Amino acid sequence: MKSSSSIVLTILFLFMGVTGAMANEVQVAVAANFTEPAQKIAVEFEKDTGHKAILLFGATGMFYAQIKNGAPFEVLLAADEHTPTRLERDGGAVFGSRFTYAIGTLVLWSAKSGRVDDRGEILSKGSFNHIAIANPKLAPYGAAAVEALTALKLLDALQPKMVIAENIAQAYQFSATGNAEVGFVALSQVLKDGNLKEGSAWIVPAGLYHPIRQDAVLLEKGRDNPAAQSWLLYLKGDKARAMIKSYGYGL
């Protein structure tokens, strides 16, 4: 038996097939950690609905400031739950449209095999010159990394070695290029088909940081755009959820 979300999606897609002339575009601000899943979902979204998602990636905190200053985004896929909540409260988002589309996982990663051990003891040993971390003031994954290091009582010792990135995508880039021997990144960035793409990693225990609940919300500029509403509905469907799960996110 089909789930209720699948039935709703089927009806929506049949409707869109009949009214192809109504196909539209939606401007989506996407948290950097969700880059690959969003790109993959956008391809299927256009095939299935006729709508096109225009994606822009960056730090959640940066997007908040841009939205408050009138940026033309219609949907926000944040890397936290607090920013969409603030936008609802501030009148920048449609109240009641917010939902959690993914739960993120923080990892310590190196592009080099064998460098990061499966207990994360490399952190206490300090056997590296630089460690990449997303700006904790703008990026929820950066804030989670600081939280984890604080819980481990290693923040003060490692602070001089930190390379602060604008967002989690840049933190990954610093680590991947070797500009930082290790870095805190999102699990989704280093997985492919459920396996580690390359290098070595330690999945940071969930108890060391608050859950990274990533919420989506319909912004006021997208209130009357059918493509924006369709995108959010598509994210809740079985097809998108399977793709999200394949990148290591919780649902």
Residue ranges, CATH 3.40.190.10, the chain: 4-103+212-246, 106-203
Mean pLDDT by 10 residues, the chain (251 residues): 46 42 85 94 97 96 95 97 96 97 97 95 96 94 97 97 95 96 95 87 96 97 97 98 93 87
Segments in 53-185 forming alpha helices (H): 60-68, 82-90, 122-125, 140-151, 155-158, 168-177
Q: 106-203, which class in CATH?
A: alpha beta
Q: In what order do the strands lie in the sheet with 182-186?
A: 162-165, 131-134, 182-186, 106-110, 200-203
Q: What is the pTM of this model?
A: 0.81
Q: What is the per-residue pLDDT for 22? A: 59
What pLDDT is recorded for position 8? 41
Q: What is the CATH number of domain 4-103+212-246?
A: 3.40.190.10
Are 125 and 94 a contacting pair, CB within 8 Å?
Answer: no
Which pLDDT does position 17 carry in this prediction? Answer: 44
Q: Under 8 Å CB-to-CB from 91, ≥6 apart: which residues?
A: 220
Q: Which of 127, 114, 84 is nearest to 202 (CA)?
A: 114
Please, is 52 exposed, middle or buried when counting C-beta atoms within 10 Å of its C-beta (0-12, 13-18, 19+)? middle
Q: What is the amino acid identity at position 120?
A: G
